[in-house]
Amino acid sequence: MPRTADSALLRALRGDRPAHTPVWFMRQAGRSLPEYRELRVGTRMLDACLDPALAAEITLQPVRRHGVDAAIFFSDIVVPLRLAGVEVEIQPGRGPVFADPVRTRDDVARLTSIEPASVAAAAGPVRDAVGIVVEELGDTPLIGFAGAPFTLAAYLVEGGPSKEHLRARAMMHADPEAWHGLAGWLAQVSAAFLGAQIEAGASAVQLFDSWAGSLSPADYRAFVAPHSRAALEGLGDIPRIHFGVGTGPILADMRLDGLADAVGVDWRMPLDEAAAVLGGRTTVQGNIDPALLTAPWPVLEAHVGDVVARGRAARAHVVNLGHGVPPETDPDVLTRIVGLVHSLQP
Amino acid sequence: MPRTADSALLRALRGDRPAHTPVWFMRQAGRSLPEYRELRVGTRMLDACLDPALAAEITLQPVRRHGVDAAIFFSDIVVPLRLAGVEVEIQPGRGPVFADPVRTRDDVARLTSIEPASVAAAAGPVRDAVGIVVEELGDTPLIGFAGAPFTLAAYLVEGGPSKEHLRARAMMHADPEAWHGLAGWLAQVSAAFLGAQIEAGASAVQLFDSWAGSLSPADYRAFVAPHSRAALEGLGDIPRIHFGVGTGPILADMRLDGLADAVGVDWRMPLDEAAAVLGGRTTVQGNIDPALLTAPWPVLEAHVGDVVARGRAARAHVVNLGHGVPPETDPDVLTRIVGLVHSLQP
């Protein structure tokens, strides 16, 4: 990746302190942008993800508008499952819904009989979209995107979104063999999806384990971390970001023994505390509170300044929100944050 | 409370070790029981809460069926707001929805112009229901029920349920004066609601701050804890339980400087760790993982045994779930847990 190697993002992920602190926003590509909403009219979410020109354009919109330091590939965590032939739809206002929830040992056997290599074979539209994006981005890096095995399983076992992911967490204890079969297969699927994005030119990857914070540390270590590690191993020499929400009690575990170059931190834990937990060996990413995006600018400005100041306690810092951009966010506020972060002493 | 003073629950809340570990279940009264679903046909949630005979019967059903060590008053956290004249409905499958969200300084002024004493004045049906319950319960204690100011505000400011409570959390920083006005008023409303239940014979109270875990510790201390303390102060000599979900990082704060006799712990944090954080001055309540209620009995049995064993590290222990009974729970499993807990060495 000669063109992006000296970018602020890649330097921060390697543990350097670039001239300005890099900043991007989870869900920057998508629902908060009027140009996105216009482009999406009449196209269903998963169809948009698999239309190379459309996915590329959506990925690029926030880079042009905000001047962020990275693009994140526009996709959805269930896209690799769709590529594997699993029947799934994104229902607006609800989320991913599966025609056949995966609840029993037989359900798991049926699903995992699908060869994970079929994801790579069907990922042509993803490779094409990434190719278009990387060409236009030049020396701005593209971050590849995938859901982690537990968060994918939380949807698959329930059959759709759920609050406390009871059915997936139940399977871990009620039938550990089925659970490990499912999560191990999902790890291969995520790895195949990330691999396709890397082959086509992504400069880094982020694994989204959004719901990992619903687990006890003991369950996280026994039933989840090994599979997240498997999803990120074997991708070659590429920087890896690992993200979850409410993960304070498992933050050190999310380093995956150093496999993760950066760990995402949500708005609950100050970055200097996160840096102390991570032990100075890991870059921190975060953690502007999405709730403050609607506050008066002086309040938000002070908060962003505090986030950057606390981030100095880590070996390096990538500024981001603590979770995704809320749909009703004023995009001008995001642009203003980019300018502010770039103006601050790293 | 002469009749309930020697009950296992009250002894555990005072820090004693009764002959058996007391056990009850959050949401034991309600949706998981067929006799409840039958009784509720044709009656809306808030109407059921304010029908004394119906609310009393629903409160008593799980005590008769499971032999739990306490009743929890059947109600909803928005009932005191309804008593204050606020327009609110419970939409099945969604939750409380307010006709007029409370978002601006003017909205707050309009709401808080309602005298909190009006809640006490309108609480006749609550007092009547509690009177019926206490009469039938005899020496089994009734726990009074109320929502905490932050969790109530999370619904009020949003106008309904939300995932990360962005609008309420935004108000804290965007307009701290409006926030403190709202939360201070809600504290008085909760206190009035608990006061009515205590006057009519409740032997203990539990304050539900279900969404407190969405806050950073700094925000919890500055914007929430003082109001939860205000809700629980001034209730006289009554044991107080304080509960939230995902509260590991703020567990010590939830003691409210010792005002809480017991702190609820969800399934994420083992009770021996919770006891260490709470410092031996507080009873722990919890923390069977609701996900395990569907596991084969030997798995659940081992888990309950582990919960009871870890609870021995605390000054005293009230067994409960880590969060409310899921609607699809088999009630026989709950009855079996009660028998198991009662058979175990405290």
Chain A nearest CA to B215, separation (Å)? 6
* Interchain CB distance below 8 Å, B290 and A216: no
| Residue B186: CB atoms within 10 Å | 29
Alpha-carbon distance A221 to A227, whole Å? 10
pLDDT bracket for residue B280 (50, 70, 90): confident
Q: Is A101 touching B (CB cutoff 8 A)?
A: no
What percentage of chain A carries pLDDT values higher than 70? 99
Q: What is the 3-state secondary structure (H, E, C) of chain A?
A: CCCCCCCHHHHHHHCCCCCCCCECCCCCCCCCCHHHHHHHCCCCHHHHHCCHHHHHHHHHHHHHHHCCCCEECCCCCCHHHHHCCCCEEEECCCEEEECCCCCCHHHHHHHHCCCCHHHHHCCHHHHHHHHHHHHHHCCCCEEEEEECHHHHHHHHHHCCCCCCCHHHHHHHHHCHHHHHHHHHHHHHHHHHHHHHHHHCCCCEEEEECCCHHHCCHHHHHHHHHHHHHHHHCCCCCCCEEEECCCCHHHCCHHHHHHCCCEEECCCCCCHHHHHHHHCCCCEEEEEECHHHHHCCHHHHHHHHHHHHHHHCCCCCEEEEECCCCCCCCCHHHHHHHHHHHHHCCC
Site of tokens 């506050």: A295
B82 among known catalytic residues: no
Q: Is B173 touching A (CB cutoff 8 A)?
A: yes
* Interchain CB distance below 8 Å, A291 and B165: yes
Contacts for B91 with CB less than 8 Å, ≥ 6 apart: B97, B160
Q: Name the 3-class secondary structure at B207.
A: strand
Among B54, B53, B42, B126, smallest CA distance to B84 is for B126
Q: Is B292 touching A (CB cutoff 8 A)?
A: yes
Where does B197-316 show beta strands of DSSP type E?
204-208, 240-243, 262-264, 283-288
pLDDT score of B93: 86
A293 → chain B, closest CA residue: B170
Question: What's the mean pLDDT in A95-113?
Answer: 97
Alpha-carbon distance B9 to B175, whole Å? 41
Chain B nearest CA to A293, separation (Å)? 8
Residues in B touching A248 (Cβ below 8 Å): 248-249
Residues in B touching A165 (Cβ below 8 Å): 291
* Interchain CB distance below 8 Å, A218 and B270: yes
Please check whether residue A85 is in contact with residue A114, taking contact to mean a CB–CB distance below 8 angstroms: yes
Mean pLDDT score of chain A: 97
Q: Is B342 touching A (CB cutoff 8 A)?
A: no
Span B172-192, pLDDT tens digits? 999 999 999 999 999 999 999
Q: Which tokens belong to A257? A: 């023994």
Query: What is this model's ipTM?
Result: 0.94
Residues in A touching B269 (Cβ below 8 Å): 216, 249
Residue tagged active-site, from B3, B14, B17, B31: B31
Alpha-carbon distance B90 to B49, whole Å? 11
B229 among known catalytic residues: no
* Interchain CB distance below 8 Å, B294 and A174: yes
Amino acid symbol at B135:
E
Write the CATH number of the domain with boundaries A2-343.
Answer: 3.20.20.210
Is B306 among the annotated ligand-binding positions?
A: no
Residues in B touching A167 (Cβ below 8 Å): 291, 294
Nearest CB partner across the interface for A295, out of B170, B268, B289: B170
| Residue A176: CB atoms within 10 Å | 13
Chain B nearest CA to A326, separation (Å)? 9
Q: Is B164 touching A (CB cutoff 8 A)?
A: yes
| Straight-line distance from the first to the last Cα atom of chain B, in angstroms, rounded to the nearest whole number | 24
* Interchain CB distance below 8 Å, B303 and A213: no
Q: Is B103 touching A (CB cutoff 8 A)?
A: no
Q: Is A303 touching B (CB cutoff 8 A)?
A: yes
Please check whether residue A19 is in contact with residue A12, taking contact to mean a CB–CB distance below 8 angstroms: no
Alpha-carbon distance A232 to A180, whole Å? 17
A269 → chain B, closest CA residue: B216
Span B91-148, pLDDT tens digits? 988 999 999 999 999 999 999 999 999 999 999 999 999 999 999 999 999 999 999 9
User: Which range (A182-186, B11-15, B161-165, B258-262) has the least confidence?
Assistant: B161-165
Residue tagged active-site, from B14, B17, B40, B127: B40
Question: What's the mean pLDDT in A290-301?
Answer: 98
Amino acid symbol at A249:
P
Chain A nearest CA to B289, separation (Å)? 9
Choosing among A162, A166, A307, which should be mutated to test the B contact, i.e. which has the most B CBs within 10 A? A166
Site of tokens 């939860």: B228
> What does the buried/exposed string (b/e) look like for B124-160 if buried means 16 or more CB atoms within 10 Å of the residue's CB?
ebbebbbebbbeebeebbbbbbbbbbbbbbbbbbbbb
Where does chain B show beta strands of DSSP type E?
71-72, 88-91, 95-98, 142-147, 204-208, 240-243, 262-264, 283-288, 317-321
Question: What's the mean pLDDT in A129-136?
Answer: 98
Instruction: Give the catalytic positions of A in this structure.
Output: 27, 31, 40, 76, 155
Chain B nearest CA to A265, separation (Å)? 12
Question: What's the mean pLDDT in B249-254?
Answer: 98
Phi, psi of A43 (to 5 degrees): -120, 130
* Interchain CB distance below 8 Å, B216 and A270: yes
> In whole angstroms, how large is the CA radius of gyration of chain B?
19
Q: What is the DSSP letter of B23?
A: B
| Straight-line distance from the first to the last Cα atom of chain A, in angstroms, rounded to the nearest whole number | 24
- Phi-psi region at B93: left, alpha or beta (left = phi > 0; alpha = psi -120 to 50): left
* Interchain CB distance below 8 Å, A291 and B166: yes
Question: What's the mean pLDDT in B35-51?
Answer: 97
Residues in B touching A217 (Cβ below 8 Å): 268
Chain B nearest CA to A125, separation (Å)? 33
Q: Name the 3-class secondary structure at B260.
A: coil
Span A225-264, pLDDT tens digits? 999 999 999 999 999 999 999 999 999 999 999 999 999 9
Among A81, A9, A1, smallest CA distance to A49 is for A81
Among A236, A337, A344, A253, smallest CA distance to A295 is for A337
Residues in A touching B295 (Cβ below 8 Å): 170, 173-174
Question: What's the mean pLDDT in A319-338?
Answer: 97
pLDDT score of A280: 86
Nearest CB partner across the interface for B295, out of A173, A216, A248: A173
What percentage of chain B carries pLDDT values higher than 90? 97
Question: What's the mean pLDDT in B35-59?
Answer: 97
Q: Is B302 touching A (CB cutoff 8 A)?
A: no
Alpha-carbon distance B120 to B122, whole Å? 5
Question: What's the mean pLDDT in A322-342?
Answer: 97
B267 → chain A, closest CA residue: A216
Q: Which tokens belong to A186? A: 């999902």
Task: Report how far apart, in Å, the C-alpha atoms of B230 and of each of A146, A186, B185, B186, B226 are.
Answer: 45, 48, 10, 10, 6
Q: Is B223 touching A (CB cutoff 8 A)?
A: no
Q: Which residues are bridge partners to A208 per DSSP?
A: A147, A243
A-B contacts (CB, under 8 Å): 82
User: Which long-range CB contacts under 8 A does A303-306 form with residues at least 24 apart?
Assistant: A303/B173, A304/A337, A304/A340, A304/A341, A305/A340, A305/A344
At residue B1, does pLDDT exceed 90? no
> Which helix or strand (DSSP H or E) is residue B10 part of?
helix B8-14
Q: What share of chain B is helix, strand, coil (3-state, %, to 5)?
A: 50, 10, 35
* Interchain CB distance below 8 Å, A294 and B165: no
Span B64-99, pLDDT tens digits? 999 999 999 999 999 999 999 999 999 988 999 999
Is B188 among the annotated ligand-binding positions?
A: no
Q: Is A173 touching B (CB cutoff 8 A)?
A: yes
Geometric angle at alpha carbon B131, from B31 and B259, rounded to 5°: 80
Please check whether residue A254 is in contact with residue A245, taking contact to mean a CB–CB distance below 8 angstroms: no
Phi, psi of A89 (to 5 degrees): -135, 155
pLDDT score of A93: 86
Alpha helices (runs of H) in B138-202, residue ranges in sequence order: 149-158, 166-174, 176-199
> What does the buried/exposed string (b/e) look like for B16-32 if buried means 16 or more CB atoms within 10 Å of the residue's CB?
eebebbbbbbbbbbbeb
pLDDT bracket for residue A1 (50, 70, 90): low
* Interchain CB distance below 8 Å, B173 and A267: no
* Interchain CB distance below 8 Å, A216 and B303: no
Q: Is B249 touching A (CB cutoff 8 A)?
A: yes
B271 → chain A, closest CA residue: A216
